[in-house]
Chains A and B, each alone.
Chain A
Amino acid sequence: MSTDTPPSDGSDASSGDAPSRAELAARVDELEAALSEATDEDGPKKMSIIATKGSLDMAYPPLILASTAAAFGYEVTVFHTFWGLDILHKERSKNLKMSSVGNPNMPVPNVVGALPGMDRVTTRMMEKRIEDNDTASVQELLETSLDMGVEFQACQMTIDLMDYDEDDFYDDVTTGVGAATALQDMAEADIQLLV
């Protein structure tokens, strides 16, 4: 409260070491500039997804969100690791499977689902629904996302662990990246998701 200027005193120079009106005005300008800089939209928004799953059903969420975010004008990176690599694998992405066990919503009990050949039945059932519903295929979503500029990254450590080759992946997929790259992307992103 000691910084209050008495209303009757219009003179800037009268109050000893208190800042002058001009100094305060300059300081306000400075802070306003800093605030607008800090809140300014600096470039496009960013989204970073970590895709860890490679079953048919779990391939969809990262691809749908990636292509949609790209449609919003986001810069999107999807970092694929462990089974998530299969989504980017030229051959394996065409044959993603669904498990008939471990999902209590499945219409068959786990003990039946565990019988030989049941995963094939479940996968075929899902494929048929995808087809009947005109839902885009995994390849279609991947190609659309690539066209829209989404960056798909394949984790180098898990490429080696799974004994995949860099040539196994679609052409525009980035290889030779690791957790530090993913972390950097996440730190800069407005949205970060682990799927």
Chain B
Amino acid sequence: MSAEYDIAETLDVKGASCPMPVVKTKGAIDDLAAGEILEVLATDPGSMSDIDGWASGTAGVELVDQVEGDDVFTHYVRKME
């Protein structure tokens, strides 16, 4: 899938299951600058709901998009200020 977004960093959490996709996304987003977008690659189907829930319940992050592939769920999260 070609990058539709200007991605600053990619986090690969394929294989990891709850709660690691969310926990590692949080760690990776902390390292970004405001406005930058993190791409998260996960195989955990629960990550669709979990990363959405995390992003809406957490200050300073915004869920830009989620793409459900055949095996991989791709999430785009922007760091706000």
Are A and B a genuine interacting pair, yes or no? Answer: yes
Q: Which residues of A contact B (CB under 8 A)?
A: 64, 67-68, 70-73, 133-136, 141, 144, 148
Judge whether A71 and B23 touch: CB under 8 Å: yes
Judge whether A68 and B19 touch: CB under 8 Å: yes
CA distance A85 to B30 in the complex (A): 31
Judge whether A136 and B54 touch: CB under 8 Å: no
Give the residues in chain B near A67, CB-CB below 8 Å: 19, 23
Known: A70-B26, A148-B23. 19 other contacts (CB 8 A): A64-B18, A64-B19, A67-B19, A68-B23, A71-B25, A71-B26, A71-B54, A71-B58, A72-B54, A72-B57, A73-B59, A134-B15, A135-B18, A136-B17, A136-B19, A144-B20, A144-B23, A148-B26, A148-B27
Give the residues in chain A near B19, CB-CB below 8 Å: 64, 67-68, 71, 136, 141
Q: Report A139 CB to chain B, min CB distance, Å.
A: 14
Can you list 20 contacts pairing A with B, beta carbon distance less than 8 Å? Answer: A64-B18, A64-B19, A67-B19, A67-B23, A68-B23, A68-B54, A70-B23, A70-B26, A71-B19, A71-B23, A71-B25, A71-B26, A72-B57, A72-B58, A134-B15, A136-B17, A141-B19, A148-B23, A148-B26, A148-B27
Q: Which of A72, A73, A136 contacts B20 (CB 8 A)?
A: A136
The reply on B16 being an interface residue by CB < 8 A is yes
Give the residues in chain B near A70, CB-CB below 8 Å: 23, 26
* Residues of chain B in range 43-81 having any CB-CB distance to chain A below 8 Å: 54, 57-59
Give the residues in chain A near B20, CB-CB below 8 Å: 136, 144
Q: Which of A64, A73, A133, A134 contacts B58 (CB 8 A)?
A: A73
Judge whether B16 and A71 touch: CB under 8 Å: no
* Residues of chain B in range 18-48 having any CB-CB distance to chain A below 8 Å: 18-20, 22-23, 25-27
Q: Report A165 CB to chain B, min CB distance, Å.
A: 31
